[in-house]
Amino acid sequence: MPLRATLAVALSILVCAPLHADDDAQRRAQALAQDAIIVDTHVDAPGILSETWADLGVAAPDREFDYPRARQGGLDIAFMSIYTSAREDEQGRARQSAHAQIDAVEALVQRHPDKFAILTSPADVERLREGGRVLLPLGMENGAPLGDDLAQVQAFFDRGIRYITLAHSAANRISDSSYGVERKWDGLSPFGRQVVAEMNRLGIMVDVSHVSDAAAAQAIELSTVPVIASHSAFRHFTPGFERNISDELARAIADRGGVVQVPFGTAFVNPQAATDMQARFRARAEFDRRNAELAAAGKPTEDAAAFEAAWERDHPTPSTPLSAVLDQIDHGVKLLGVDHVGIGSDFDGVGGELADGLRSVADFPNLVAGLQARGYPDEDIRKILGENLLRVWREVEAGARR
């Protein structure tokens, strides 16, 4: 017997075996993570790929998603977030940026067809998973690339987009944002209502993360199929932080068969960090408004990098335990039922500001172990890890066929 095993046996006899119990729990969590279908609805790899290429088919230590760690953590399906900013929208660059990011994901798959595959339908999961591939469906974070052209919904569907987050950090032509001080549309715009209908027709999931409460309520009501919140924690823990979903809206999503996907980012699951994030977006909006006025007056503008550095200095990220994410899941399950909660990590999207123990795609077994320790049966954990999201996706596809 190896020395390590001998010592473990001796120690377990002395202290009534807690060491074996811990090891067994970890093995059990690892086994379930590998056997279950894990679906993460929000990984921000594409934006970084298009800016600074990294071969994610091999170890990429400066990223939170790569193939080796995805397989280590049991991740099977990672929605690649095609994110465009409000600034890109203002400058007319959002559509090109979205296409460039899709190109980057396709290039990654072409480099490693044995490791990755684009996923456009849940019907293809089992076939494409063969050989240990990690499947990469596409989600558009911010509907800005659509502009005001309804035909672009079809165009991006043809490129693989399977959910659209209607807005992001500012109102666009579709919807108001949860971060916006002023509300341009009082929810969805008339064009936004057309977009929701077209998404239903094509089989694109409607995502209400990031949008204002009014916009979310209207989208949920208008949609003829279930909607999702691809990466929204519960506002129950962060009062006043509209970016997180209210219990009322979460219930409306669940009542229509949808799912709320819980993120791991500190800013969503830690109350102080959430307060800081809300304040940051508003301070940055005021900074940009002030700079626009200075530029219009022909005066020197303020340094954006200096603004960001000062904010980071004055608002350090608080440490956040994994239990904060587990508490979010507990709340969702109690509020909505276990069939309406999932996970949308926001890996590579929050600058490394993540809950302890959930730092990369290798860490899903830690989440599983935490849920098992809280008494969740394995069949319920499987639902949270991915079965719920796949069910909703199938229902959205079925609605399109109808």
pLDDT digits (tens, 9 = 90+) for 340-362: 999 999 999 999 999 999 999 99
Residue 250 lies in a domain: yes
Residue 3 lies in a domain: no
Q: Is 319 exposed, middle or buried (0-12, 13-18, 19+ CB in 10 A)?
A: exposed
Give yes or no: residues 266 and 288 share one domain: no
Residue 86 lies in a domain: yes
Residue 10 lies in a domain: no
Contact call for residues 49 and 101 (beta carbons, < 8 A): yes
Give, in order, the Cα–Cα distances in Å from 264 to each of 40, 248, 250, 327, 341. 11, 22, 18, 11, 14
Residue 285 pLDDT = 81
| Least trusted range by pLDDT, from 157-171, 294-308, 341-355 | 294-308
Contact call for residues 167 and 126 (beta carbons, < 8 A): no
The mean per-residue pLDDT over the stretch 268-287 comes to: 88
Confidence check: pLDDT of 12 > 60: no
Give yes or no: residues 210 and 235 share one domain: yes
Look over the chain and give the mean of its residue pLDDT values, rounded to a whole number: 93
Q: Is 398 exposed, middle or buried (0-12, 13-18, 19+ CB in 10 A)?
A: exposed
Give yes or no: residues 305 and 325 share one domain: no
Give yes or no: residues 307 and 164 share one domain: no
Reference 332, options 382, 259, 267, 386; nearest CA is 259
Confidence check: pLDDT of 119 > 70: yes
- 240: helix, coil or strand? coil
Give yes or no: residues 309 and 339 share one domain: no
For helices 213-222 and 247-255, the axis angle rounded to 10 degrees is 10
The mean per-residue pLDDT over the stretch 58-83 comes to: 98
d(CA 54, CA 66): 9
| Least trusted range by pLDDT, from 97-101, 136-140, 305-309 | 305-309
d(CA 105, CA 82): 10
Contact call for residues 274 and 363 (beta carbons, < 8 A): no
Give yes or no: residues 107 and 216 share one domain: yes
CATH number, position 160: 3.20.20.140
Confidence check: pLDDT of 188 > 70: yes
Band (37; pLDDT cuts 50, 70, 90): very high
Residue 177 lies in a domain: yes
The mean per-residue pLDDT over the stretch 34-58 comes to: 96
pLDDT digits (tens, 9 = 90+) for 84-115: 999 999 999 999 999 999 999 999 999 999 99
Residue 12 lies in a domain: no
Domain that holds residue 305: 271-317
Residue 2 lies in a domain: no
Residue 4 pLDDT = 40
Rounded to two decimals, the pTM is: 0.92
The mean per-residue pLDDT over the stretch 249-278 comes to: 95
The mean per-residue pLDDT over the stretch 322-340 comes to: 98
Residue 362 lies in a domain: yes
Give yes or no: residues 119 and 145 share one domain: yes
